[in-house]
Amino acid sequence: MSKNNASPYSHEPQTPQKKNKTLVVGLTGGIGSGKSAASAWFAEQGIDIIDADVIAHEIVAKGSPTLRKIQRKFGDWVLNGDGSMNRAAVRTHVFTHPEALIELEAITHPAIRETAKSQLAASTSPYVVLSAPLLIEAAEAGLANLCQRILVMDATEDTQLARASQRDEQSVQKIKAIMVNQLSREERNRHADNVILNESDLDALYLQLEPLHQEYLILAQQLKYAVD
Ligand SMILES: CC(C)(COP(=O)(O)OP(=O)(O)OC[C@H]1O[C@@H](n2cnc3c(N)ncnc32)[C@H](O)[C@@H]1O)[C@@H](O)C(=O)NCCC(=O)NCCS
Ligand SMILES: Nc1ncnc2c1ncn2[C@@H]1O[C@H](COP(=O)(O)OP(=O)(O)OP(=O)(O)O)[C@@H](O)[C@H]1O
């Protein structure tokens, strides 16, 4: 069959093919920048959220093939007594050994991408938000390639440290160790279609998100009914 589902022998003029493509908005930002807070607001508007951090946790569930690969690569110390991943031990190791972080990402990122793609295929909302801290960094994982728009949550490093340490009760030192493995604000913002400075309260954040949501709804319609 031809691309337009018309018979190859038909002399009828062919109608243009509808793309029927879902708009994917990539949401990124450093640790504690406010991705989850923004995602929660988009979800309240009925938008499906695909969260790479959540997927990253799910794919290393006890007994999973990905966790077995991590165990084979690093050793039995990556497991707790009950067979689940010892996240604190892995975190301490990879964020102080750059080569180990690369090895861990080589195992986790392809699995994250595959799961994100199947969640995208199952999405039914007007557009989809794909939230990932490493959307831009992990270019080889191809998450950014799935997105037509990149929205960056931006906050000063002091704000990131204050919010992340308050939320997780993690030491400032541990959060700084993660931040050095993430892009600088300037570099990340350079890749953005839209940047939200999340330095004030949550109401101020929601006020900035509302016009973007309206813009994405329009873009989503245009993309859905675009023709080749
Ligand atoms: C190292 C691990 C075990 C630490 O687990 P832990 O429960 O302590 O932290 P959690 O997963 O909740 O991540 C906390 C924050 O750290 C940052 N972070 C996570 N992974 C990375 C990474 N590879 N590089 C830089 N920052 C990262 C993110 O901002 C994230 O929100 C875990 O983060 C992991 O498996 N990372 C590799 C998978 C990955 O790249 N995830 C990011 C999704 S794109
Ligand atoms: N504008 C804001 N005003 C007050 N608190 C905020 C604001 N934005 C985010 N927070 C709070 O700061 C903390 C960090 O925000 P959030 O969890 O959304 O960041 P994140 O980018 O998802 O971080 P991570 O990469 O670690 O998952 C949370 O407790 C959140 O409720």
Residues 10-43 have pLDDT tens digits of 455 555 555 568 999 999 999 999 999 999 999 9
So what's the pLDDT on residue 138? 75
Ligand 1 center to residue 202 CA distance, Å? Answer: 24
Q: Is 122 annotated as a binding residue?
A: no
So what's the pLDDT on residue 16? 57
Q: Is the predicted pLDDT of residue 162 greater than 90, yes or no?
A: yes
Nearest bound ligand to the CA of residue 167: 2
Q: Return the percentage of the chain with pLDDT > 70, whole number.
A: 89
Give the three-state DSSP class for 37. Answer: helix
Residues 47-84 have pLDDT tens digits of 999 999 999 999 999 999 999 999 999 999 999 999 99
The residue ranking higher by pLDDT, 191 or 171, is 191
Atom of ligand 1 nearest to the CA of 60: 35
53 Cβ closer than 6 Å to some ligand 1 atom: yes
Residues 112-156 have pLDDT tens digits of 999 999 999 999 999 999 999 999 987 666 789 999 999 999 999
Measured between alpha carbons, how far is 105 from 37 in angstroms, rounded to an integer?
Answer: 25
| Residue showing tokens 């569930």 | 61
Measured between alpha carbons, how far is 147 from 149 in angstroms, rounded to an integer?
Answer: 6
What is the distance of C-alpha 106 from the center of its chain?
A: 16
Ligand 1 center to residue 59 CA distance, Å? Answer: 13
201 Cβ closer than 6 Å to some ligand 2 atom: yes
Provide the whole-model pTM: 0.90
Nearest bound ligand to the CA of residue 54: 1
Residue nearest to atom 9 of ligand 2 (CA): 34
So what's the pLDDT on residue 142? 79
Nearest bound ligand to the CA of residue 182: 1
Residue 131 burial by CB count (10 A; 0-12/13-18/19+): exposed, middle or buried? buried
